[in-house]
Amino acid sequence: MITIHITKKLYAKLPLDEQGLLVNKTAPQHGSLCVDPNPLSGWHANLITLQRRNCVLLVHDATRFPLFIKGLLKADFANFNWHFEDAMMNTLLKLGANQQQLDAAASLLAPCQFDTDCNRSVQGTMNQMAGDIEHMLRFDSAKLEDISAYKTAVWLADRPCSIKGRKECVWPQQAMLALLSGSSPTAQAEETPAKQSNNIIQLSDYRRR
């Protein structure tokens, strides 16, 4: 499982069962590596409204790596597992992750499990990033539909973030890539290059043989 700690606003939007799993259990297309604990687990997420559109901003607890999902409709919340996977893989692609790191991420993906626990340090990072997106849209007079959610997440990740209890700041881009490099399987299956259209991967095409 990938645990995501969510705000009450987002909790109200997701169709969850008593275990915090989506009622519509759309399992990720990847996730072949069984790791406990899963290094990709542990995120905070909030529902933010931008230009009257529902968006979700996620921040990985350990690395402060962000994901941005924009323009969600009611049906999209029921398929949040797919949207999480799509955001993760395409943001890493935009970031310039190598094939080994992409394979590691794909193998660690798992269904999301949600709760309302909160870490104030991570929430502070998430709130700052949300404010930066709002400022960017206003400053550039940009329309939400015209910006890339993946590139926006990469932009947010290119900054130092402080973590309570640690003296040194963490750079989310470097921290996430380092995490994935350390989590790569030792034996790689034969790889099939991702089919790309305008440098965006289709999840159905991103499969190892």
* pTM, full prediction: 0.84
pLDDT higher for 62 or 199?
A: 62
Whole-number Å distance between alpha carbons of 84 and 30: 12
Please, what sign has the CA dihedral across residues 161, 172, 46, 38?
Answer: negative
Of the candidates 206, 188, 178, the one whose C-alpha atom is nearest the C-alpha of residue 100 is 188
Of the candidates 164, 120, 132, 154, the one whose C-alpha atom is nearest the C-alpha of residue 7 is 120
Q: What is the DSSP string of 142-173?
A: --GGGS-HHHHHHHHHSS-B--TT-SS-B-HH
* Per-residue pLDDT, 165: 77
- Classify residue 64 as exposed, middle or buried by CB count within 10 Å of its CB (0-12, 13-18, 19+): buried
Choice among 4-13, 29-38, 50-59, 192-201 with the minimum mean pLDDT: 192-201
* Per-residue pLDDT, 168: 87
Choice among 29-33, 79-83, 86-90 with the minimum mean pLDDT: 29-33
Choice among 2-6, 41-45, 118-122 with the minimum mean pLDDT: 118-122
Long-range (24+ apart) CB contacts under 8 A made by 139-147 are: 143/51, 144/50, 144/51, 144/53, 144/55, 144/70, 144/71, 145/71, 147/70
Q: What is the mean pLDDT of residues 85-114?
A: 96
Examine the pLDDT at 72 and tell me if it is beyond 90. yes
Average pLDDT, the chain: 86
Pairing of strands 66-69, 112-115: unpaired
* Per-residue pLDDT, 32: 54
SS3 25: coil
Do residues 125 and 59 touch, judged by C-beta distance below 8 A? yes
SS3 121: helix
Q: What is the DSSP string of 174-194?
A: HHHHHHHHHHS-SSPPPP-PP
- pLDDT tens track for 107-163: 999 999 999 999 999 999 999 999 999 999 999 999 999 999 999 999 999 999 988
Q: pLDDT > 70: what percent of the chain?
A: 82
- Classify residue 78 as exposed, middle or buried by CB count within 10 Å of its CB (0-12, 13-18, 19+): middle
Q: 């029921």: which residue's tokens?
A: 78
